[in-house]
Structure 1
Amino acid sequence: MGDFLADWYLWTKALHVVSVISWMAGLFYLPRLFVYHVEVVGSGTPTSELFQTMERRLLRAIMTPAMVATWIFGLALVFTPGIVDWSVIWPWTKAAAVLGMTWFHHWLGLRRKDFMADRNSLSGRHYRMMNEVPTILMLVIVFSVILKF
């Protein structure tokens, strides 16, 4: 298995990067949709139904498949011989940030269900603040991987 992963390392890394970019795009955009949904659209309107459709499709058709692909290709990289040295700190900080990113993804999914049930209780300001979470986690991941600290 190790030889297979080593032979396909560059392809795996490229697919991992593409998956991460797709996932991050959704993680940045869905909270912004929630801001507009709360502040401009409100609930119980035809426009609210349109926003719910957009939010559902973004989460189910783009974000979740991208998250799964990110995890699959990321784990393939982890199991490629000679790629990750677990005796240093950077893989652990990256792993913690990826778990945080996954938690945030699921938190967004729960908020989407709140909108569907017309029981959203969070403000646009709250969603704006939460929109910074993936940025902070992304910085931790990129600096961990590139600078190896």
Structure 2
Amino acid sequence: MTDLLSVAYPWTKAFHIMSVIAWMAGLFYLPRLFVHHVERAATVEGAPAIFEMMELKLLRLIMNPSMIATWLFGLALVFTPGIVDWGAVWPWTKAAAVLAMTWFHHWLGLRRKDLLAGSNVVTGRQYRMMNEVPTVLMLVIVISVVVKF
């Protein structure tokens, strides 16, 4: 099995990077949709339904599959011999940031349900602030993997 992972390493890494890009795009965009949903949807007839459809499709068709693919390809990389030095700090900081990013993904999913139920209590300003979370986590992940401290 480890021989297969070693042979597939370049492909696994390529698919991992593509999955991360798609996941990050959704993590950056969904909070912005929430900002406009909260601040503008009520002012335009039919807009709430349009925002709900856009949010659902982004989450279900792009974000969820790309998060799952990111995890699967990432775990395949973890188990590829010689890739991760668990005695270093960087795999642990990356793992913590990926777990935080996964939490953020699920937090967004819960906020979408709140918007659907009409029980949203998060303001547009708060969604704007939360929109910075994936950026900070991305910085931690990229620096961890590239610098390997």
Cα distance, 1:118 vs. partner? 1.1
Deviations 1:20-54 (A, max 9, x none): 00000000000000000011113995210110000
In the alignment, the residues of structure 1 paired with residue 28 and residue 8 of structure 2 have an alpha-carbon distance, to the nearest angstrom, of: 30
1:43–1:118 Cα contact (<8 Å) kept: no
Aligned to 1:31: 31
Q: Deviations over 1:111-138 (max 9, x none)?
A: 0000111111110000000000000000
User: Residues 26 and 63 of structure 1 are in contact (CA less than 8 Å); yes or no, is this contact kept in structure 2?
Assistant: yes
Cα RMSD (Å): 1.2
1:16 aligns with 2:19: no
The answer for the alignment partner of 1:89 in structure 2 is 89
Matching residue of 2:122? 122
Task: Give the alignment's TM-score, normalised by structure 2.
Answer: 0.98
Q: Give CA-to-partner distance per residue, 1:61-116, whole Å, 9 cap, x none.
A: 00000000000000000000000000000000000000000000000000000011
- Secondary structure at the aligned position of 1:42 is classed as helix
Provide the C-alpha distance between the structure 2 equivalents of 1:71 and 1:117, rounded to a whole number of angstroms: 30
| Percent identical residues | 68
For residues 100-111 of structure 1, what are the structure 2 equivalents within 5 Å? 100-111=100-111
Q: Secondary structure at the match of 2:61?
A: helix
5+ long unaligned stretches in structure 2:
none
- Which structure 1 residue ranges, 5 or more long, are not aligned? none
The one-letter amino acid of 2:113's match is K
Q: Which amino acid aligns with 2:77?
A: L
The answer to whether the 8 Å contact 1:44/1:118 transfers is no
Letter in 2 for 1:46: G
Q: TM-score, normalised by structure 1?
A: 0.98
